[in-house]
Chain A
């Protein structure tokens, strides 16, 4: 019932935006929606592990991502208000209406317990994000939007065929249960060849949403052309949606006869994602593309972590949580950087530290955090990852360490160019950036630092519950 109220409220508010398309009314409707989103997430906690509308459950996994969604969507709304202040009524109405629908779709993806419903909502995220990517309406944004919709839709269709194929091959007939729990029982009985084929289709299909090899390119282009607040949302909440959709199928397949094979595939896919990120990071000539490739890197690490069993799942959840806060903060800051330098192009811009010291320092902090340098919480998760890789995965340890070094070098080189490099022909206008606009970045970066030393009990319990570790498990960097 709670979810029904949330969905109805969201759809009504999304519609009201078109009926009253003025700036103030749109901001009010979107603000009301953000409040609804936050309240929904809080109330979902009070109903932990309960089902809603038959196809949804407020399990630990969904609760983790609902918290992140609430925080990121609030911050994105704050930055969007500033970003869209000069937009036309129609353009603004489409923007916020799509934003609300995207939030609803993501909530559906996070909370559903049924594969078909998950597919419906994942496809809805693709459709609702289209206008947000194409907000500028330029040739570049049209190209990125078309590629995003088309490749995602084809990818998701392939993933769906993979599941249907596995279910058909189990011979379940019309009694089949397409809930993730039901699928777990189905997968346990299937011939491994069918299951492997199914998994390859699912991973390839969802890679478009996960932003990992092979279909990562559309995510890079989308992040590049979208408005910065949208890029922040895409590389955190939307990527998380892809993760949840994939992870639930992955969980349903663990414990089957092909578990070890799946781990190998994830390991290879994760490493290939790191290779892609390491190579293209050096070639990138645009700051937003640099950060987009960094998302490919982190999602690659998440896949590698998933291949390491229960503790790996715990690490993957930490990694994706920390990444969400840091990456969205970085993209918000990139938007402010554009207001000063008027460009994201590395060969055209520079001297950010001299022109806007506050913004530059926040950017430097963000870069330190995203590269997992202490006190970044990502240091904590990557430290755990390397510790696990060190136990019997020596070669992988060396490969991953080498690739991360290349990525580290790429991110610092590109950012140093923009922070302390030559200014070039730019017209700075830093007076338009009030200090309040840095607040979300400071908040998110602070969260990413605090979580290094202290993970709240309720959050750790959620991680432990999803990964299937013993109750009370908590690895502290302070005790090592």
Chain B
């Protein structure tokens, strides 16, 4: 079961890197939230109702419901639908993803982490690389925002790997931080569009010496 979740998560990463439609980004991100919930529940070392509720809030409610809703709202307000024409095309990103998959595989094998499966670590590395890839190759700021969210998914995977269960207050702090970050970024993204007349990365290159 766990292997199936890993494979599905890996496929979702390749798809999000390759797709050129922003609504697909949101759909894939929603699915990733559900997959993360499954992984977290199976990997949970000690069961408690509080932990379960928290994982539910962090994955299903936050990643699969609240954030996608926020992202959809941004797309409605900004009227952007596809990645920029000048962005790296899907077939090239798939090729890069294959290379990143290879690197993740090697890293997971060479840097073996005790008590954590190699496949799991490979997925965690690949998630981090996918987030960084989106930030690097996408020319619209919305793509960067999704890249940041994918990196946050990598943070979630690494925190499950450590198996450390923090008190509710600390967990709430982490969740609140990420939520406010996404909220503020969304707010500024919309403002940038209105003020600068575009969402391209190039619009943010006025400040230099």
Contact count band on B: 35 or more
CA distance A91 to B176 in the complex (A): 24
Task: Tell me whether A36 is interfacial, beta carbon within 8 Å.
Answer: no
Size class of the A contact interface (CB-based, 8 Å): 35 or more
CA distance A225 to B206 in the complex (A): 12
- SS of A interface (majority): helix
Interface string of A119-140 (1 = CB under 8 A from B): 1100110110010001001011
Q: How far is the CB of B115 from chain A (nearest CB, A)?
A: 5
Q: A161 and B158: CB pair below 8 A?
A: yes
B155 to chain A, nearest CB (A): 5
The contact of B144 among A117, A123, A150, A176, by CB within 8 Å, is A150
Q: Mark each residue of chain B from 149 to 173: 1 if its CB lies under 8 Å from any CB of chain A, else 0.
A: 0011011001101111110001001
Given that A143-B206, A197-B111 are contacting pairs, would A116 and B163 also be in contact in the complex, using a CB cutoff of 8 Å? no
* Residue numbers in A under 8 Å from B151 (CB-CB): 154, 157-158
Q: Is the CB of B158 within 8 A of A142?
A: no
Contacts A142-B192, A146-B192, A153-B181 given; indicate if A173 touches B163 (C-beta within 8 A): yes
Jot down 12 A-B pairs with beta carbons below 8 A, ordered by A: A120-B173, A123-B181, A127-B180, A142-B188, A142-B195, A146-B204, A149-B184, A150-B185, A157-B151, A161-B158, A169-B111, A178-B166
Which residues in window 103-143 of B have CB below 8 A to A? Answer: 111, 113-116, 128, 135, 141
Q: If the complex has contacts A123-B177, A168-B161, are A116 and B166 also in contact, measured as CB distance less than 8 A?
A: yes
Instruction: List residues of chain A with CB within 8 A of the CB of B144.
Output: 150
Is A157 in contact with B195, judged by CB distance below 8 angstroms? no
Main secondary structure of the interface of B (DSSP, over half): helix
- For B159, the closest partner residue in chain A by CB is A164
Does B207 belong to the interface (CB within 8 Å)?
yes
| Contact between A172 and B164, CB atoms less than 8 A apart | yes
* Chain B positions near chain A (C-beta within 8 angstroms): 45-46, 111, 113-116, 128, 135, 141, 144, 148, 151-152, 154-155, 158-159, 161-166, 170, 173-174, 177, 180-181, 184-185, 188-189, 191-192, 195-196, 203-204, 206-207, 209
Which chain B residue lies CB-closest to A117? B170
- Once the chains are docked, how many angstroms separate the CA of A114 from the CA of B207? 36
Known A142-B196, A193-B111; further 19 A-B contacts with Cβ < 8 A: A120-B170, A120-B173, A126-B181, A130-B188, A143-B192, A143-B203, A149-B184, A157-B151, A161-B158, A164-B162, A167-B164, A168-B161, A168-B163, A169-B113, A173-B115, A174-B164, A178-B164, A197-B111, A286-B209
A17 to B189, CA, bound (A): 26
A296 to B207: give the CA distance in the assembly, Å: 17
Chain A CB within 10 A, most for which of B161, B184, B195, B203:
B184
Q: Are A283 and B152 in contact (CB under 8 A)?
A: no
Residue of B nearest to A193 (CB): B111
Q: Is the CB of A153 within 8 A of B173?
A: no
Contact B207 A224 (CB under 8 A): yes
Question: Roughly how many angstroms separate A161 CA and B196 CA in the complex, as a whole number?
Answer: 34
Give every chain A residue within 8 A of B166 (Cβ-Cβ).
116, 178
Query: Smallest Cβ distance from A174 to chain B, in angstroms?
Result: 5
Q: A327 in the interface, Cβ–Cβ < 8 Å? A: no
Residue in B144, B151, B164 whose Cβ sees the most chain A Cβ within 10 Å: B164
- Set of chain B residues within 8 Å of A18, measured between Cβ atoms: none
A255 touches B (CB below 8 Å) = no
